[in-house]
């Protein structure tokens, strides 16, 4: 058995080599391509595979599993992770989770100064992620009356919050860039809609 995960990250050269093996596999060989974005695979590879969708586990089962792993408030972390239990476990138990927790506290208290007070570059990613999810929650609350990531269901100008969420998505891609982390954090917080 050969497992490729994440399959969409395979280089073009490796994909072409894999294609030959998929067309004429050795006897008894099983190829398992795990992909969260199957559209990112070459169409020739997708056409030679049998898709097997794997849904997220139910909320109760995932929360129970997280609680068994020692996670406090598993429902909260599960919501923040978009229902993905492994990501929720990583958030709840890792250093990234501590940074996320600090940002969530600052948002809950409305302390914009604390939001932009990052100590190092490692805190930029969690800041951008939390701000993006908060913006999406505000937009969803405006449009559908509920949040997705467990944030406040406070509604606002959906367009402004969606534009801000897109900006935070772009910023998330830049958080590892050698920028001044304090100025970058201040820019992210300053762009937050006031509605």
78: confidence class by pLDDT, cuts 50, 70, 90: very high
pLDDT tens, 134-192? Answer: 889 888 888 888 778 876 667 678 899 999 999 999 998 888 886 788 888 888 888 88
Grade residue 116 by pLDDT with cuts at 50, 70 and 90. Answer: confident
What residue has token string 């534009």?
163
In the prediction, which pLDDT does 153 show? 62
Of the pLDDT bands very low, low, confident and very high (cuts 50, 70, 90), residue 52 is very high
Contact 156, 138 (CB under 8 A): yes
Dihedral sign computed on CA atoms, order 114, 116, 117, 120: positive
Q: Which pLDDT score is estimated for 168?
A: 93
CB 153 within 8 A of CB 141: yes
pTM over the 0.85 mark: no
């Amino acid at each position: 058995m050969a497992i490729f995960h994440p399959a969409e990250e395979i280089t073009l050269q490796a994909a072409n080599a894999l294609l030959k093996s998929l067309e004429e596999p050795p006897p008894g060989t099983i190829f398992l391509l795990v992909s969260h974005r199957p559209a990112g695979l070459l169409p020739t590879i997708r056409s030679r595979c049998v898709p097997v969708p794997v849904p997220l586990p139910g909320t109760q089962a995932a929360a129970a599993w997280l609680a068994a792993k020692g996670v406090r408030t598993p429902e909260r972390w599960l919501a923040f992770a978009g229902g993905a239990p492994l990501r929720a476990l990583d958030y709840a138990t890792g250093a990234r989770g501590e940074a996320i927790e600090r940002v969530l506290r600052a948002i809950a208290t409305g302390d914009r100064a604390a939001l932009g007070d990052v100590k190092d570059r490692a805190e930029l990613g969690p800041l951008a992620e939390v701000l993006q999810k908060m913006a999406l929650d505000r937009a969803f609350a405006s449009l559908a009356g509920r949040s997705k990531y467990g944030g406040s269901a406070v509604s606002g100008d959906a367009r402004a919050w969606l534009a801000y969420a897109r900006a935070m998505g772009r910023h998330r891609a830049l958080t590892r860039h050698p920028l001044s982390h304090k100025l970058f954090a201040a820019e992210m917080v300053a762009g937050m809609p006031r509605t």
